[in-house]
Amino acid sequence: MTDRLHITVLRGGPSAEREVSLRSGDAVARALRSLGHRIDEVDPVPGAPEIPDGTDVVFLALHGTYGEDGTVQSELEELGVPYTGCGVRASLYAFDKILTKRRCLRAGVPTARFERFIDADAPWPDGWRPPVVIKPARQGSSVGLRFVDRIEDFPGALAFSLSHGGEVLMEERIAGRETTVGLLDGEPLPVVEVRPRSGAYDYANKYTTGRTEYFCPAEFPGEVTRAIQAAALGAFHAVGCRDYARVDVMVRPDGSPVVLEVNTLPGMTETSLLPKAAAAADIGFAELCERMVRRALARPATER
């Protein structure tokens, strides 16, 4: 490390992912302190994040609404404080799963077929057959997610997802292997395969120790690995990301990738998926956090 920085870690916040964000923030703060930096930890109030005087850079360890949808990014830009991760527009696009899909389609990035719903009384759409996935357009960590295997289960699943937001995405449920690709400095890291021991990779399986197995690097033929990484990189560029992100990708049995979503502020505990991928590339957790900070500081003032 070349110099000691004053870094403010924003964690917690008002979203449904608050507890996950607190864990991310605690891990990041410990890592950055271990490198000798001066760290303040702030649980922000929307509209008025209190950034301590003398802060060199803000590390965003927020997840969900306010943290990932461009709101806090806009507030920090008004304050003139550099921050880690994607800018306002990319955060807005990536947090909205429907906008992400539209931008992926425009860019030729493979993504699952989908429909949009805003009405809890909407009928089952013509031309569709189960199984499908129903989820809020603007939530993360599988909040509000439902799997529908029978048409008669659709109304309840739709109402449940709409209770977590005013717009819902229905997409085909892809049969295959579930992966995620971390991107750092705009380059793909080793692919992580996610295998729940039972059921789907929902909120409980994500955050309950021992309920999911992770394999990194994932065991795919080289050409499939490259295709997965290329799809993830395509989505990264399609929504205008910078510095780092994580892209969730399903892989069909024939090896073809299908992008699900882009996460601009992925989990940052030492066992989270982006740090797992970085570790497989011989990048330790503290080094990963440091690189995120340095990328934020290296941007021109007009792009912070």
Domain of residue 76, CATH code: 3.40.50.20
| Active-site annotation holder among 246, 272, 290, 304 | 246
Active site residue 261: yes
Mean pLDDT of 196-209: 61
- Is the model's pLDDT at 304 over the cut of 90? no
| Active-site annotation holder among 26, 74, 77, 207 | 207
Active site residue 207: yes
Query: pLDDT per residue over 12-56, tens digit each?
Result: 999 988 999 999 999 999 999 999 999 999 999 988 789 999 999
pLDDT band at 221 (very low <50, low <70, confident <90, very high): very high
- Is the model's pLDDT at 59 over the cut of 50? yes
pLDDT band at 105 (very low <50, low <70, confident <90, very high): very high
Determine the Cα–Cα distance for residues 272 and 90; give it in Å rounded to an integer. Answer: 22
Active site residue 96: no
* 49 and 142 both lie in a single domain: no
- Is the model's pLDDT at 171 over the cut of 50? yes
Mean pLDDT of 1-9: 85
| Active-site annotation holder among 267, 272, 295, 304 | 267
| Active-site annotation holder among 13, 263, 290, 295 | 263
* 200 and 241 both lie in a single domain: yes
- Is the model's pLDDT at 1 over the cut of 60? no
* 165 and 198 both lie in a single domain: no
Confidence (pLDDT) at 206:
58
* 153 and 182 both lie in a single domain: no
Record the tokens describing residue 112, joined without a space: 């699952």
Determine the Cα–Cα distance for residues 304 and 298; give it in Å rounded to an integer. Answer: 9
| Active-site annotation holder among 15, 248, 272, 304 | 248
Q: Is residue 260 part of a domain?
A: yes
Record the tokens describing residue 8, joined without a space: 């403010």
Active site residue 199: no
* 128 and 65 both lie in a single domain: no
Which string of b and e fits 261-272 if b means at least 16 CB within 10 Å? bbbbbbbbbbeb
Determine the Cα–Cα distance for residues 130 and 179; give it in Å rounded to an integer. Answer: 22
Confidence (pLDDT) at 207:
55
Active site residue 115: no
Total Cβ atoms within 10 A of residue 72? 25
pTM of the model: 0.91
| Residues 39 and 32: beta-carbon distance below 8 Å | yes
| Active-site annotation holder among 261, 272, 290, 304 | 261
* 132 and 199 both lie in a single domain: no
Q: Is residue 278 part of a domain?
A: no
* 250 and 203 both lie in a single domain: yes
* 69 and 203 both lie in a single domain: no
Tell me what the pLDDT averaged over the chain comes to: 92
Confidence (pLDDT) at 197:
78
Active site residue 263: yes
The range of the structural domain enclosing residue 168 comes to: 114-172
DSSP for the chain reads --S--EEEEE---SSTTHHHHHHHHHHHHHHHHHTT-EEEEE-PPTT---PPTT--EEEE---STTTSSSHHHHHHHHHT--BSS--HHHHHHHHSHHHHHHHHHHHT--B--EEEE--TTPPPPTT--S-EEEEETT--TTTT-EEESSGGGHHHHHHHHHTT-S-EEEEEPPPSEEEEEEEETTEEEEEEEEEESSS-S-HHHHHSTTSEEEESS----HHHHHHHHHHHHHHHHHTT--SEEEEEEEE-TTS-EEEEEEESS---STTSHHHHHHHHTT--HHHHHHHHHHHHHHS-GGG-
DSSP for 91-147 reads HHHHHSHHHHHHHHHHHT--B--EEEE--TTPPPPTT--S-EEEEETT--TTTT-EE
| Active-site annotation holder among 17, 69, 96, 290 | 17
pLDDT band at 209 (very low <50, low <70, confident <90, very high): low
CATH number at 230 reads 3.30.470.20
